[in-house]
Structure 1
């Protein structure tokens, strides 16, 4: 009720919003059912007269622990909603693996709420212990036979409470979704339930997309062969059904080096607000994407899309999943096979989000992180500053160029990250906001980027290096739309070497960047990617893929306004329009069958490729690649 009051403006947009409170009570009964289940199942044993003293002590401990969990999760909820515009979910669990970064962020960005939550937790423990020991709540049972007679009735009631429905499938958080506003939907359930369901889903991630509906493997293979911009290619490896030969659009005697600068949390809105003057200036010197969309809302989702060209799924990013730690396609893998030095350069700890494991297992021969900076100018919670990061990158590129080594490098920035700790006297702060704010962090990140690009342009490696500057995602995703499409809109820029200025106005996805970079760099190769080479002569696909928590959206810009198809777990697909210029999502209606089937195929395909471990270029393709090169050389 307190959260309903805090977000009353959004709650009141729902015509029958008071019913949401009753829905919330129903969702709470599920949690209560889970809390009761374990003591109830062991009751027949512990209620035996010799064990009743143990039964009493167990119930006291169970009462304190289970209720403390509920109270703690609710105490942590307001700060989480302020950051992510939704109740605690799988991110709450994942970030527990990185205590240093998380505690640093909480202490510097949410110190007051952190201390208040800790105080609340201590007081709650004290009160619950007193309650558990009170005579008024001690279990009363004089006859074992009476308890056993009533026990089956209580078990049935508990099972009904947990299922919450007599339908074929038990209720889940999507069952309680009644609006197009993700926050409002999450408010009707408890944070404990949201996190508990996230834990359950993490155990079944291999088939996560099945919650939208199942697609047969043969149908998925047929769908791949029917993708319009892949009509002219062949798929020679049945075990790897998406692997195809991509002929580079640029014929180069010596392929270019490739540098990807992955900008932390840089939404397109910052560029529009004038907070990135350096990016705006450099956008006039290369390919500028006006309608580029991220596949997700987390850094690892951006990494898998940009570096691996992999489509999003409702599961965790493949950067974190077990079956993709080896023999999973990345740009580093294909370029390492062609003789490139491949590196990941980061200012923080490279093990964060499992990046080091994923990169070293999939083609990156060198990792540079926080431990490799001898005397950084500035160090924050998340590592060295962007200036230190770019100075290290510039130093490495000069070394590799002098050694005449072709190189591929992924540079991942971190200065634009809460708690936004920045070096002094580098930028003119934005007026009207605290110095330690996202606006100033964006300005500083842009300042560091501009300095680096100028250094690079003045260097000897500029003329044979292709640069991609792209965001991993926007800084925060919020709003009352089921899928806040505008918060997936990110800047992207390809420049360097002989790239001529160009504005790309059609809708593009992060997954299109990998094949495009290879093609512009003059690298022909076998690839499993399903993104489009935007430098090829085929018409632009004009579409994007958006994964927002458990919701998948397929954005199709072939019409005006654009069309969008939305898939939800165990619910009917929805469709609407999206006005790209006004950034306005239309009213959601049941999706036409053909559009729903297309979106489902795009959503199911990556999960199937991951589960079957088929997103990889087999080693046999290396011989075929060499043969193609020999034929091309002979023709010349």
Structure 2
């Protein structure tokens, strides 16, 4: 029957499909092996995982088969086996296999970094080819990988020739009528997948790893390409807009707070701190946003790695937040949370979206207080749209530009990190020591003007390939994340040592916080412990204290504004952590599709397709147990996320002129 459906003219196409399915099966086995202790390994679940995977493999390969199917149908019998036919067939077969093999190896490296199939991160990386290609070249033995791909390609072509698939494809008498059935079957499968099967259909398990293993990477990639920005109201549970803002205004009600327009769909409000006996303070503020610094790396959180001596020492000299959580899984999410003080909206970060200038960020509060605002990045701030975002929101840019210019409509100062200021550089930019040296130079200049400054510094050394100057620490460069973290810690120590010699040091408040964890992937869609980060505030008169309130990245700067005794107008979602009562404590965690509100040991998760799930978080083993839904908790979760999306899409986050 199989041969009657697929006559001899389709022998090579059958081999092509079989190779793809076999490679996909092998890839699933590798991912299962790599995550064997995280997956649900019951027999029925594993069979279901691989069966769903086969279903998506067939759908995926059908799209690749369509061009060749059309060729097979339209070419007349008299051209079978001609030079033209042989050249087209060999080139198409080799090109298809090359794509499959490249995807095979690329997925392995992506899984090692993110423990996921291709998603919107992979799509984003296509845009920034310079950094990504350089990073891959520094992280992996590219000549060996390319050699392996080509070797496997030639082996597969040789085996296919030995199996006479080419011979039967060229030497046959298949009629036009006989070609219609297989063509219709494959095109029909592709149509069904395009019209009715979305990537989320693969997610049939509670365990996230099983869901990811069941997917097909290429299909996931194109699904992410289509859906990297999601409309909250189209895909998630909603309330009436009036109900949303009524719930939020009750949540922000305080003796210090007055809403500017109480009847509008807005959270714009004034915060009054000046009735107290303290005078407003305006120290310089330096934020060090540390790449991928999970709390589990610090001895202060129970680690025994001994790779963060500086941060562990500072934890005893700071406002040290022990229960703070990142909102997302990427640097742009951390930047969004810190600067916009907003829960994560579905899809791509606001940092990467269009029309993201002129927003009410923490920079606007600093502007009202007379501060100069600067964004420091050791690479090219073109990456991830950072320069456009920060420049469009009033920050001066200091980066390692390579010719990419900001949008000419953005009026901001841009300072380059010159070659003679660089001692070490990799794919992501200069080493942390070099960026800190530049910060000190610019702070020295600002000191002469008498204008207070807010410096946002984004570090890069704790990022694959984990390379840094030799001879600084006892872990060889480029060998491990632990080395990247230890060098990051070393560079902070060196920076503070230099800063202490400067006249501006005593009047400078330092903030150190991670952008996100080293890996957010776990067995759950939102793995709570993998959002736990460190945050410290110290110097300029700050009294050391361990702060145990359950809080979010978005709360750090509203807390600082209150500590400095400022009166200010705010459109920010964050609250003063130090004023939080137990019932006020909460954290926002999410990825590009799942949106969570975490309170103590309760987690509400909103998903697309208008779903919600309520869990009890078991801290001892970082597991989630599904529990009956709480309507009040659900409505508050919806209100935060729906309001964030509404305000962004309706220009409610814009600065009011």
TM-score (norm. length: structure 1) = 0.84
Q: How does 1:166-565 map to 2 (within 5 A)?
A: 170-202=196-228, 205-207=229-231, 210-228=234-252, 232-236=257-261, 241-248=266-273, 251-272=278-299, 273=303, 274-324=306-356, 326-369=357-400, 371-373=416-418, 374-429=420-475, 436-536=479-579, 541-557=584-600, 562-565=601-604
**Which of 328-337 and 34-43 deviates more?**
34-43
Matched, 1:609 2:647: yes
Give the corresponding residue for 2:41: 13
Asked whether the 8 Å contact 1:516–1:534 carries over to 2, the reply is: yes
Q: Which runs of 5+ in 1 are unaligned?
A: 164-169, 620-636
Asked whether the 8 Å contact 1:181–1:481 carries over to 2, the reply is: yes
Pair 1:246–1:124, CA change in 2 (3 A): farther
Distance 1:328 1:56 in 2: 59
CA deviations over 1:361-384 (Å, ceiling 9, x no partner) = 111134344642433333333222
Superposition deviation, residue 439 in structure 1? 1.5
Pair 1:48–1:279, CA change in 2 (3 A): same
Matched, 1:89 2:119: yes
Distance 2:92 2:253 in 1: 59
Asked whether the 8 Å contact 1:243–1:617 carries over to 2, the reply is: no
Q: Which runs of 5+ in 2 are unaligned?
A: 1-24, 402-415
Superposition deviation, residue 156 in structure 1? 4.6
Pair 1:89–1:357, CA change in 2 (3 A): same
Pair 1:361–1:9, CA change in 2 (3 A): same
Pair 1:305–1:22, CA change in 2 (3 A): same
Superposition deviation, residue 97 in structure 1? 2.3
Distance 2:166 2:289 in 1: 57
Distance 1:489 1:60 in 2: 52
Match of 1:29 among 58, 61, 67: 58
Superposition deviation, residue 58 in structure 1? 7.4
Distance 2:182 2:112 in 1: 45
Distance 1:617 1:50 in 2: 70
Distance 1:360 1:38 in 2: 45
Over the aligned positions, Cα root-mean-square deviation in angstroms equals 3.5
Residue 351 of structure 2 aligns to a residue in which SS? coil
Asked whether the 8 Å contact 2:470–2:477 carries over to 1, the reply is: no
Distance 2:465 2:293 in 1: 15
Asked whether the 8 Å contact 1:343–1:368 carries over to 2, the reply is: no
Superposition deviation, residue 389 in structure 1? 1.6
Match of 1:103 among 120, 133, 137: 133
Asked whether the 8 Å contact 2:351–2:389 carries over to 1, the reply is: yes
TM-score (norm. length: structure 2) = 0.81
Pair 1:402–1:68, CA change in 2 (3 A): same
Give the corresponding residue for 1:625: none
Asked whether the 8 Å contact 1:534–1:540 carries over to 2, the reply is: no
Asked whether the 8 Å contact 1:87–1:183 carries over to 2, the reply is: no
Pair 1:47–1:535, CA change in 2 (3 A): same
Q: How many residues align?
A: 600
